[in-house]
Structure 1
Amino acid sequence: MKPIDSSSVTQASIVGSAFVGWFLLAFVFLYIVLSPYYFFSSGEPQLCDYLILLGVFFTIIDISYRKVFFLTSSATAFTLLLIALSLWSLMVNLAWGLTLADSMRFIKNSQYIIFNSLLAFMLLYINDNYVVPVKKAVLYGFLVSVLILLLLQPYFESDFARARLSFNNPNQLAYFSLISFIVLSSVREETFYLGLRLLGCAISLWFLLISVSISALLSTIPIFILLFFYILKSVRSNPLLFAMLSMLSLLLALFIYAYFDVNQLINSMMNSQTGEIITSRAGRVDELVSNANEQRGYYRFFEYPEYLVFGAGQGFESRYGGMEIHSSFFSIWFYYGVPGLVLMFAILMFPLYRMTLPNIAVTASYSLYGITHLGWRFTLIWILISLLILKDPAGRGNEF
């Protein structure tokens, strides 16, 4: 891989390149918009996944046509990690598949890592080879996605006490909402309007509340700390704007106090079904923590230590209890051993190669959620990590 000599690029090729870039980016945008809608069981490809496969197909064709393309040093290093993890997962699953005479079941489970790696590479490729606003397109994708889901919310009925909307279970809604909130609040894009950010963040937080996921709600804390520092910076750089926003906030608070019974409003919220569930789950935190070893599958590390070095592979779960391990870090360690853990940890922590405050806060947020949930299979997290790695034409990353 080597950079294209910009002096040899003609005006016609620039226009053509822009068209191809937008064409490939459209697949990512549509994927984000359609990602909340689950038509099949969890773990199976959804309709939106085929859009990414089609986009990857056209990306490969474009690379073959160009014969030369450019990736920044950080994108190249990240791509090598993706390739290494994909190959290692294939090797582990193939070895266990041959040993237990069921290769396809094991190899099928490598599809999550390979699929997500291809999508991450596709984003890096588009950003580094075409003059198109990748971050802005992704931000609008998440905004449109949460807006449509909000409009459709009344049409989704659930037999769960916790809302799940178009997802198969409440935890999927929680993770989607958390990632949407992180992206819309923390990804740097100067031309994306502040009002749209606030709207998207408010909707995402609403979805987080109705999903009643304590883990997801706690995982927003690093982002709120980041926003606090952002407000402090805004005060120093634009005190007039801060004064105006403070006045508007004060007027809104006075309006609510004057025209609403605040105590009754709070009681109504807490006595609602969502409020009661949040209160109940918050009161059971000690119980949930004490039962995590059994419910999350952590006990396998003590009962099946023989799998910890090279991994148990993903398949024939009856060998070790028949249930997935609900943790991004622990599951990758158990399934793919120490090499898999090192590679996945390097991928999840890769944004910290640029120690900016947003990157630290975002990495801390999705890592907190990943402690108690199997998050690395969720494709949107790979889009988020890729966004933190992207650089604009001026070489800037995701900093204030």
Structure 2
Amino acid sequence: MFYLSQSGLPQPADLGLIALAPFFIRRQYLTATMGSVRPYIAFLGLVIVVNLVWLSISQNMDFLQTIAFYGFNAIVFLFVLSVVGKHRSSIERSLTIGLFIAVAIQIFVVMSHVGEAARSSGTFQNPNQLGYWALCVLGIFFLARQARAGLLELIFTSGALYIAFVSLSRSTILAIALLAVVHFARHAPRRTMAVLVAGLLAGTVVMLVPSPAQRSLEHRFQQMEAIEKLERRFARASEKSQLEVRGYDRITDNPTLVAVGAGEGYHERFSSIDRELHSTIGTVLFSYGLLGMVAFLIFLGSLTGYTKILPYLYLAPFVFYGLAHQGLRFSFFWVFCALLAASSRGLLSSSFRLNLPFRRGPSIPARGAAAWRRPGYASASASASASASAPDLVRRRSPR
């Protein structure tokens, strides 16, 4: 969340996590989620092999950096699964408090720099990172509070929407709106409307609240006009040009590499745009081939338990965001994936499993249930039943 060194280099928090990982990651804590760990290891192994092959061919160090990113995120994924496997539902309270503190800090930083740029970056180094962070923390928050959709959830959602609005990331705003609708609609449709209203209010606050330096509203509206012009430029852009900007033309121009995988790096090989393909799904398909795509889809399916519909709905906004942005290197995405796998398997107290219909046994009245827990109740009731049935047995056996 805070960058104390250059983007792409390990931050102090990353080094601390690496140091703690050997003490937390244990096989016995991963037993319950092994159904997701195995597909993930298979996908990770394919990523490492493909990038090592291209490293040996091109001698370009981009592929080695890619392996380092995936290796670190593997530690994050397994670390979160191990912590959840060890502590189960006891982490939800601390997780909720920590997320609220993080969002509050981010909002404070954002509001402290309102008006300095058309798009806010918060504590990150570009606006897209800020927006994606807001989407990830909202997804993590909803997973930790699956069975709840009250005022606390509404406040947190409003904070995430505010952060998304100031980042001006259209994909993030739409993905957060979709995620909020999924969560609130399954609990109470009326609260879904409240979430949408809160989103509109958050947008209004973004546009109207001046900065601490008391910049005039006129300057703020001038920025809004510039943003509207930028939006009109994007709206006038053809679908083909947008696909080229995102890098999708590499897939159509290099069908052979789609079959075997082009590796993730050395981007100047393919077009004049010297940058990565701006799509999670497109990156997996182009960089790791058809086999890598299948492995990644199997991994995503394993997170949801394959047969449960509700986890897919929570995963859908991230897939939607991934159509326009590459989010595989962002560690918070892998935290969300780990908690989704744990929740789908009932490891959290508000897991998906506890919200699915189940077959009920015979109901016990409240007094009966309380009496059932009293010592000697079973023996007393058995004796009473035997006494009641004894005369019937005598009557049946007595000669007529």
TM-score by length of 2: 0.72
Secondary structure of 2:260 counterpart = coil
Aligned to 1:303: 253
- Given residue 287 of structure 1, which amino acid in structure 2 is its aligned partner? A
- 1:348 matches 2:300: yes
Cα shift readout 1:232-285 (whole Å, capped 9, x = no counterpart): 37x8xxxxxx9xxx9xx8xx99xx9xxxxxxx99xx89x736754664455433
Shift of 1:399: 6.0
Question: 8 Å contact 1:349–1:363 — kept in the other structure?
Answer: no
C-alpha RMSD over aligned residues: 3.5
Percent identity between matched residues is 23
Answer yes or no: is 1:397 the counterpart of 2:356.
Answer: no
Q: In 2, Cα distance between the equivalents of 1:208 and 1:368?
A: 15
Shift of 1:346: 2.6
1:125 aligns with 2:82: yes
Correspondence for 2:133: 176
Q: Which amino acid is 1:296 matched to?
A: R
Map 1:1-400 onto structure 2 (within 5 A). Answer: 35=1, 37-60=2-25, 63=26, 69-73=28-32, 75-102=33-60, 104-131=61-88, 133-156=90-113, 160-185=117-142, 187-188=144-145, 194-232=150-188, 272=221, 275-276=224-225, 279-280=228-229, 282-283=231-232, 284-285=234-235, 287=237, 289-321=239-271, 322-353=274-305, 358-390=310-342, 391-392=346-347, 396-397=351-352, 400=355
Amino acid at match of 2:30: L
**Separation of aligned partners in 2, 1:343 and 1:158:** 44
Deviation at 1:199, TM superposition (A): 2.5
Tell me what 1:6 maps to. Answer: none
Q: Which amino acid aligns with 2:287?
A: Y
Distance 2:222 2:131 in 1: 17
Q: Tell me, in whole angstroms, the C-alpha distance in 1 between the residues paired with 2:224 and 2:305.
A: 40
Please tell me whether the aligned partners of residues 326 and 374 of structure 1 are also in contact (alpha carbons under 8 angstroms): yes
**C-alpha distance in 1, partners of 2:143/2:79?**
22
Over 3 Å counting, the alpha-carbon distance change for 1:70 and 1:169 in structure 2 is closer
**Which stretches in structure 2 are left out of the alignment for 5+ residues?**
202-207, 210-216, 356-400
SS of 1:133's equivalent? helix
How big is the shift at 1:205?
0.8
What is the DSSP-based 3-state SS (H/G/I as helix, E as strand, rest coil) of the residue aligned with 2:352? coil
Q: CA deviation at 1:352?
A: 3.0
Aligned equivalents of 1:87, 1:354: Cα separation in 2: 22
Q: CA 1:275–1:139 in 2, change beyond 3 Å: closer, same or farther?
A: farther
Structure 2 counterpart SS, 1:167:
coil
